[in-house]
Amino acid sequence: MSIDYALTNEEHLADLDLEQLRQLVGLVEYDGHLDPFPVSGWDALVWIVGNATQTSHFFQSAFGMDLVAYSGPSTGNRDHHAFVLESGAVRFVIKGAVDPASKLIEHQRKHGDGIVDIALSVPDVDKCIKHARAQGATVLSEPHDLSDENGTVRMASIAIYGDTRHTLVDRSRYRGPYLPGYVERTSSYLQRTGAPRRIFQALDHVVGNVELGMMDQWVHFYNRVMGFTNMAEFVGEDIATDYSALMSKVVTNGNHRVKFPLNEPAIAKKKSQIDEYLEYYQGPGVQHLALATNDILAAVDVLVDEGIEFLAIPDSYYEDLELRARIGEVRAPIEELQKRGILVDRDEDGYLLQIFTKPVVDRPTLFFELIERHGSLGFGKGNFKALFEAIEREQNARGNL
């Protein structure tokens, strides 16, 4: 299957061309004829939050997304508000309860604000569900059509880790703004003058945190049920420092449009960051979304102006001669990266720039990564150790290690 075939859903691509997308998220060619569960790309990330009205404003004002569709009491949905936001090829659906008896309230009470559904675009919903069922997946909703005057969407859902799901969506016969039941909606929000048209253009990867001992089980689930292949793994030395232990493996679909790193905690002297997540999210769930941008420096500047907070990177990271030698020439002076706390990693294919926000919800659970790829298909492996060791050198200098 060529990339062209896998990505023909033009409304997903907004005004991105394939070459841009290939560069942004590291696409590869693959033969889909033998794929038992062909996935074209991302359809939407569906959030359940405590206040969808305000969260949707936050994603417009701080992250520069556009409101495009809505469902709620005024459209006949008396249960909840749902705001559909887009930035390039990325679609968020933000849901919050209106009816005090809504089931969404229970999800939000347990998990806090979070992502309930990583919806994927597939060309053949029935084929995927047939294969998933045969491989033992839990089918949460059977293949069914939703129709209105804009056409028909076929969809079905399977369960993944925790209370999270994949809804599989074929919208090739649909022209509406999102799904039947949603109406087109825009907002009067005006971006600041001089702000880039979009802060981010595509989704690169979505990371799941699972319990100790469950990472391999979920890797096998993606291999067996969804035909995903293993892309990278970070165990032992890669991610283990005394203080920040976790293990991670990455699975991907055929064209690498959809990438799922899966983390589990590792035993260390202090509580793993993954354990903290599991405690506050009350189980496994989505930890971070990596948003692909073609200008991470401009993106960070805009986000900082909007009050978004990023993890602070010690100066020692940038002053490390070994790191400087390893990363070589990148598109911006290292001082410009240092000023913003942007990390660099290089591998045999190229390099990437990345940065991490602090949690964007009330609990220490969900955060964003911004990533700008220049050929590298990796996840910043070099930074795991360099970053943590740089932090520990700082600790050592203070006599706290």
Residue ranges that bind Fe ion, judged by CB under 5 A: 290, 369
Instruction: Kindly state the smallest distance separating residue 105's Cβ from Fe ion, in Å.
Output: 30
Alpha helices in 101-178 (DSSP H): 104-111, 125-134
Closest CB to Fe ion among 43 and 204? Answer: 204
Cβ neighbours around 363 below 10 Å, total: 16
Is 313 within 8 Å of 341 (Cβ atoms)?
yes
Closest CB to Fe ion among 290 and 330? Answer: 290
Alpha helices in 206-311 (DSSP H): 215-226, 273-281, 296-305
Which contacts (CB < 8 Å, 24+ apart) does range 269-277 have?
269/242, 269/243, 270/242, 270/243, 272/244, 272/245, 272/246, 273/244, 273/246, 274/209, 274/246, 276/364, 277/209, 277/364, 277/365
Instruction: Kindly state the smallest distance separating residue 59's Cβ from Fe ion, in Å.
Output: 19
DSSP 210: -
Give the residue carrying structure tokens 């949603």.
Answer: 182
Alpha helices in 84-192 (DSSP H): 104-111, 125-134
Closest CB to Fe ion among 69 and 290? Answer: 290
Instruction: Kindly state the smallest distance separating residue 7's Cβ from Fe ion, in Å.
Output: 22
Instruction: Kindly state the smallest distance separating residue 380's Cβ from Fe ion, in Å.
Output: 7
Closest CB to Fe ion among 290 and 291? Answer: 290
Give the residue carrying structure tokens 């008896």.
Answer: 101
Instruction: Kindly state the smallest distance separating residue 204's Cβ from Fe ion, in Å.
Output: 8
Closest CB to Fe ion among 35 and 369? Answer: 369
Instruction: Kindly state the smallest distance separating residue 201's Cβ from Fe ion, in Å.
Output: 17
Closest CB to Fe ion among 330 and 343? Answer: 343
CA–CA gap between residue 262 and residue 216 (Å, rounded): 9
Give the helix/strand (H/E) hosting 397. Answer: helix 381-397
Closest CB to Fe ion among 233 and 369? Answer: 369
Strand partners, 161: none
Instruction: Kindly state the smallest distance separating residue 3's Cβ from Fe ion, in Å.
Output: 22
Mode of pairing for the β-strands spanning 165-174 and 114-121: parallel
Closest CB to Fe ion among 168 and 286? Answer: 286
Instruction: Kindly state the smallest distance separating residue 301's Cβ from Fe ion, in Å.
Output: 21
CA 273 and chain centroid, separation: 18
